[in-house]
């Protein structure tokens, strides 16, 4: 936080270091130095007596900021009671700032920015790249985030859950930093699976059940017809049902009217079911796309590849592109068209990204898909490069992969749908809450339990580094005493309760002179790091560091609540402490919203 503090420190530092005798510096130069200044860790109790900022000499040098080696930074002159001390080490310069001025600057900025605190920082104008060099970022950018993307009639499994949670975070943090974000849910609504579903619905389907619970009924049909396929293949080696399904798909791609009507019914019913669950999670999509949109334009991709002279046909009549050169000589190829003339997933994906580039002129596009699909996206990039679409080279983090989730099951058995997961979390939270005394209305308890359950699911996922597998643990996830989504909600409600019930009004004009206790200083130092954490998450598109930051914020704010009473304290002291707790609540709320949580005011 308090970017102006960094700016002031940078100006003083350059002056004290006698930067080649210069006394004036351009705004851009000062920005580079200021953005290199970092807040120190505040986890240790002794931190309040240590320097609270630092700057790496290596980073400074990489950005063309050279310190005169004949000058040793010492205590800087005091200006307007803004005491600064520079301590030069082997690899960095440590900076100690007057605690009273620092506290006032940080907390006043948080109150001023409120819901935008930590998100308006000048720090976000830069990102670290190429070994620490600071490079200006163009804002705003046009960003597409494709996430969740379930398949019609197939279970909304843990992979889709992770894609939904991580993708929402990626979209949230881009939106928070003022990028123009388009959220796309790309449904698997085409291909052989639809042909099998179409055949199965004629045998096992019920239109009334489709209206009442589309997803579960379509899944039941899909499971039943696939059992037929397996049985037929086991008995004779050939499945008539699968052959009929492939014929359906071929007819679909040649504009069969009846099959298109049926497909539209299945697709629309599925979207209605999904939308209700996404609304419950507080997640929205700007557009629902699907493979079905691109089976025709996929042939344009084939024509483009043909004209470029890179499309080949094998002995079975399958059209493919040889990518060995792009993969360092490895024998890699990508099939784009089946022998029966129907398109494949990658062909439709290529048509989709080309259409999106024309429509949105995106700077970046992110596909939030499990890491097992890494080869698919590498092939996509290689094909686009071969086709001459060089803009693809500027799309950092095109594929945001993630690991698997193990052990996710309910009392009724294996979880299949996202709604089952959320219902189970809600039921378990209701059981925990019912064991404690509560005077809330039943409706409030139901809603609170639902929000707590969703918070628990989201935070257990985002606290992991996204590329790692993890074990889903219901009990640990719902514990309000550990580092969980429930504990974040509990702390937010507690801070809000202090604000509401302390019996005094916050004094916006306070000089905040009384916040000299260790608990207050450590909490303020941690609040000041929020913009750095946001910047890190934006650069890496990884939520783990933000979740860790919020857990530490909970611990520090709890320590401050225990040690710094508002009620019963002298008026000025009480006002200053209330100011601090309101700032802590604002930063906690802003961080929780980035994760996709709805902060609770009471529990």
Contact 70, 492 (CB under 8 A): no
The count of other CB atoms within 10 Å of the CB of residue 260 is 13
Q: Which regions of the chain are under pLDDT 50? A: 74-81, 439
Residues 6+ positions from 238 with CB-CB distance below 8 Å: 232
Q: Give the residue from 462, 431, 452 showing the smallest Cα distance to 550.
A: 462
The count of other CB atoms within 10 Å of the CB of residue 384 is 20
- What pLDDT is stored for residue 35 in this prediction? 83
Contact 419, 277 (CB under 8 A): yes
| Helix, strand, or coil (residue 177) | coil
What CA–CA distance (Å, rounded) separates 305 from 384?
Answer: 10
Q: Which positions are annotated as active-site residues? A: 154, 157, 160
Per-residue pLDDT reduced to its tens digit, 139-189: 799 999 999 998 887 767 667 889 999 999 999 999 999 999 999 999 988
The token duo for 574 is: 């009480």
List, in sequence order, every residue forming a beta bridge with 368; answer none if it has no partner.
400
Residues 6+ positions from 421 with CB-CB distance below 8 Å: 161, 408, 410, 415, 457
Please give the angle made by the CA atoms of 161, 162 and 164, to the nearest 5 degrees.
Answer: 65
Calculate the alpha carbon distances from 562 to 173, 559, 567 in Å: 33, 5, 12
What CA–CA distance (Å, rounded) separates 337 from 60?
Answer: 53
Cα within 13 Å of Cα(490), Cβ side: 18
**Predicted structure pTM score:** 0.90
| Burial class, 509, CB count within 10 angstroms (exposed 0-12 / middle 13-18 / buried 19+) | exposed
Phi and psi, residue 129, nearest 5°: -150, 160
Q: Give the residue from 104, 106, 84, 82 showing the smallest Cα distance to 94.
A: 84
For helices 192-204 and 257-281, the axis angle rounded to 10 degrees is: 100
Q: Which helix (H) or strand (E) holds 174?
A: helix 158-176
> Before 140, cis peptide (omega within 30)?
yes
What CA–CA distance (Å, rounded) separates 123 from 32?
Answer: 9
| Helix, strand, or coil (residue 320) | strand
What CA–CA distance (Å, rounded) separates 50 from 94?
Answer: 9
- What pLDDT is stored for residue 352 in this prediction? 97
Q: Give the residue from 144, 140, 594, 139 showing the smallest Cα distance to 368.
A: 144
What CA–CA distance (Å, rounded) separates 485 from 453?
Answer: 8
Contact 450, 280 (CB under 8 A): yes
Long-range Cβ contacts of 434-443 (<8 Å, 24+ apart): 440/602
Please give the angle made by the CA atoms of 190, 194 and 195, to the nearest 5 degrees.
Answer: 120
Per-residue pLDDT reduced to its tens digit, 501-554: 998 999 999 999 999 999 999 999 999 999 999 999 999 999 999 999 999 999
List, in sequence order, every residue forming a beta bridge with 288; answer none if it has no partner.
185
């Amino acid at each position: 936080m308090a970017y102006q503090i960094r700016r002031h420190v940078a100006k003083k530092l350059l002056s004290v270091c006698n930067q080649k005798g210069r006394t004036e510096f351009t705004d851009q130069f000062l920005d580079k130095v200021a953005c290199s200044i970092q807040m120190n860790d505040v986890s240790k109790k002794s931190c309040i007596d240590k320097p609270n900022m630092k700057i790496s000499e290596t980073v400074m040098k990489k950005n063309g900021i050279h310190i005169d080696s004949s000058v040793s930074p010492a205590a800087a002159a005091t200006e307007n009671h803004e005491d600064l001390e520079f301590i030069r080490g082997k690899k960095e310069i440590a900076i100690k700032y007057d605690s009273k001025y620092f506290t006032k600057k940080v907390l006043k900025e948080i109150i001023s920015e409120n819901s935008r605190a930590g998100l308006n920082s000048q720090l976000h104008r830069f990102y670290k790249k190429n070994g620490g060099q600071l490079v200006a970022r163009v804002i705003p950018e046009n960003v597409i985030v494709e996430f969740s993307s379930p398949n019609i009639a197939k279970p909304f499994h843990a992979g889709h859950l992770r894609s939904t949670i991580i993708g929402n975070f990626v979209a949230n943090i881009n939106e928070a930093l003022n990028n123009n974000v388009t959220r796309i849910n790309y449904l698997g609504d085409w291909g052989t699976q639809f042909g099998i579903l179409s055949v199965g619905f004629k045998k096992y389907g019920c239109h009334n059940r489709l209206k009442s619970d589309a997803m579960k009924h379509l899944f039941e049909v899909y499971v039943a017809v696939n059992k037929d396929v397996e049985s037929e293949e086991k008995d004779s080696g050939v499945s008539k049902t699968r052959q009929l399904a492939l014929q359906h798909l071929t007819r679909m791609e040649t504009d069969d009217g009846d099959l298109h009507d049926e497909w539209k019914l299945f697709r629309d019913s599925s979207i209605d079911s999904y939308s209700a669950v996404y609304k419950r999670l507080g997640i929205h999509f700007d557009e629902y796309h699907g493979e079905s949109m691109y089976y025709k334009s996929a042939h344009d991709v084939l024509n483009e590849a043909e004209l470029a002279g890179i499309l080949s046909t094998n002995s079975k009549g399958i059209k493919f592109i040889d990518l060995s050169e792009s993969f360092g000589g490895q024998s890699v190829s990508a099939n784009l068209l089946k022998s029966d003339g129907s398109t494949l997933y990658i062909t439709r994906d290529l048509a989709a990204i080309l259409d999106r580039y024309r429509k949105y002129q995106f700077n970046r596009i992110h596909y939030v898909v499990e890491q097992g699909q890494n080869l698919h996206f590498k092939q996509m990039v290689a094909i686009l490069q071969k086709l001459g679409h060089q803009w693809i080279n500027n799309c950092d983090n095109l594929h945001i992969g993630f690991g698997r989730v193990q052990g996710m099951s309910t009392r009724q058995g294996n979880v299949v749908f996202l709604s089952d997961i959320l219902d189970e979390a809600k039921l378990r939270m209701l059981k925990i809450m019912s064991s404690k005394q509560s005077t809330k209305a039943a409706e409030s308890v139901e809603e609170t339990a639902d929000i707590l359950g969703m918070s628990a699911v989201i935070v257990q996922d985002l606290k992991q580094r996204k590329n790692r597998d993890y074990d889903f643990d219901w009990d640990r996830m719902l514990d309000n005493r550990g580092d969980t989504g429930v504990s974040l909600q509990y702390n937010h409600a507690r801070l809000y309760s202090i604000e509401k019930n302390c019996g005094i009004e916050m004094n916006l004009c306070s000089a905040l002179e009384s916040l000299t206790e260790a608990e207050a200083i450590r909490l303020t130092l941690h609040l000041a790091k929020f913009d750095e954490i946001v910047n890190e998450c934006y650069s890496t598109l990884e939520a783990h560091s933000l979740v860790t930051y919020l857990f530490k914020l909970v611990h520090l704010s709890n320590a401050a609540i225990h040690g710094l009473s508002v009620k019963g304290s002298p008026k000025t002291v009480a006002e200053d402490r209330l100011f601090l707790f309101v700032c802590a609540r604002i930063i906690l709320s802003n961080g929780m919203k980035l994760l996709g949580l709805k902060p609770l005011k009471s529990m």
